[in-house]
Amino acid sequence: MKNIFVNPIFWEGDHICIIDQTKLPVELVYEGCRDISSVWRAVKKLKVRGAPLIGIAAAMGFVLGLRRSKVKTWPGLLQEARKISRYLASARPTAVNLFWALGRMVRVVEAHEGEDKKRLLLFLKKEADAILSEDIRMCFQMSRHAACLVKNGDSLLTVCNAGGLATSGYGTALGVFYRAHEEGKSIKVYACETRPLLQGARLTTWELLHNKIDVTLICDNMAADLMRLGRIDAVFVGADRIAANGDFANKIGTYSLAVLAYYHKIPFYCVAPSSTLDLSLGSGKEIPIEQRDPLEVTSFYFKKPIAPTGVHVFNPAFDITPASFISAIITEKGLIRKPFGRNLRRLHGRLSQKH
Ligand SMILES: CSC[C@@H](O)[C@@H](O)C(=O)COP(=O)(O)O
């Protein structure tokens, strides 16, 4: 774990401590979440963000919510658990990790019929801790499976932030870069700034710089030219939800990178843990896409207005990359190639009933 340099979420006594990612890279500010509504707000406002981290935060928030509840006995606790789950699930619609983690928490309550509240809370805390530690393990496993895809001297492109800040501390796509670096490979990373909320410019470059990885920031519209110039060897991105046929949702702009990579014959990889799989959905068309505040587009990071008042705005937070553009999907179980439908089912089939 030598590359985990920052811990994006942890328990501090009876509350949750998070890094407020909206303040990075200007300030590294930790914020305490003492109740469920502060966890909901942190997820909604992207203080805590990235699919795996959203799931972890929801599981921890669930513990806070049930602990604070006045209900003391079963089956009231089960009803309360379902209410808490619905509330936290309403924060963001796309990353399936949120629903996956909340589903696990509710199942713990269901499995302990008649249990007293104190003991139930111990089981729930244990489940939330397990969700966190499983994510650490899965990120390491993914980085090992993807190691063969990165060569010494490669220039790699990524979008948004699929790093330690988006997970339990190591990352999915950025985990692959950390692993290559640990293996002594010399790599160069290009980070797309990722308009409108600039997760690439603010978070990915911050993380990579701290980990001494050679990183160059580009505006989103520069990726095509870099590819034309032959300066990108592979593209690695994370995911918010992967459907059964391999189509996946990720930060808006991912699809354009996939099309560009396909045109330029550059390998394009999606790195995500099984908590991001939603095998109940046949294709990417069924993935709900979050639409966000127009102000994110009409201003530069909520500060300077950059568009006339009243202009129509289209602001989806994610897009769908069709499976046909993907060279491989990497999960903790290994490298998955086409046909994704069959191969995802073979490796992860049991998951379809779990979400
Ligand atoms: C390992 S994180 C994978 C994805 O969640 C990430 O690429 C992404 O799109 C995050 O979007 P965000 O809106 O910042 O939560």
Query: 155-196 pLDDT, tens per residue?
Result: 999 999 999 999 999 999 999 999 999 999 999 999 999 999
Give me the pLDDT at residue 302, please.
Answer: 84
Strands (E), 148-298: 155-158, 188-192, 214-218, 234-237, 241-243, 248-251, 268-271, 277-278
Q: Is the distance from the beta carbon of residue 56 to the nearest atom of ligand 1 less than 6 Å?
A: no
164 is in an annotated binding site: no
- Per domain, the residue ranges of the chain are 9-140, 149-353
Q: Is the distance from the beta carbon of residue 172 to the nearest atom of ligand 1 less than 6 Å?
A: yes
Residue percentage of the chain with pLDDT more than 70: 97
Q: Give the C-alpha distances (Å, rounded to integers) separating 155 from 27, 101, 226, 253, 256.
A: 29, 35, 10, 19, 19
Give me the pLDDT at residue 152, please.
Answer: 98
Tens digit of pLDDT for each residue in 112-145?
999 999 999 999 999 999 999 999 999 999 999 9
Average pLDDT, the chain: 96
pTM value is 0.97
Q: Token pair of 283, please?
A: 């294709």
For residue 202, the 8-state DSSP code is: I
- Looking at domain 9-140, its CATH architecture is Up-down Bundle (1.20)
Distance between first and last Cα of the chain: 29
pLDDT surpassing 90 at residue 354: no
CA 273 from chain center: how many Å?
9
Give me the pLDDT at residue 5, please.
Answer: 63
pLDDT band for 1, please (50, 70, 90 cuts). Answer: very low
Buried b (16+ CB within 10 A) or exposed e, 157-189: bbbbbbbbbbbbbbbbbbbbbbbbbeeeeebbb
The predicted model gives 3-13 an average pLDDT of: 84
Q: Is the distance from the beta carbon of residue 92 to the nearest atom of ligand 1 less than 6 Å?
A: no
Q: Do domains 9-140 and 149-353 have the same CATH topology?
A: no
**Distance in Å, CA 6 to ligand 1 centroid:** 17
354 is in an annotated binding site: no
The crossing angle, in degrees rounded to 10, of helices 36-44 and 51-68 is 160
pLDDT surpassing 70 at residue 293: yes
Interface confidence, given as ipTM, is 0.99
Ligand 1, atom nearest to 172 Cα: 1
The predicted model gives 44-66 an average pLDDT of: 98
The predicted model gives 78-93 an average pLDDT of: 98
CATH 2.40.50.100 fits 149-353, yes or no: no
Please confirm, yes or no, whether 14 is among the known catalytic residues.
no
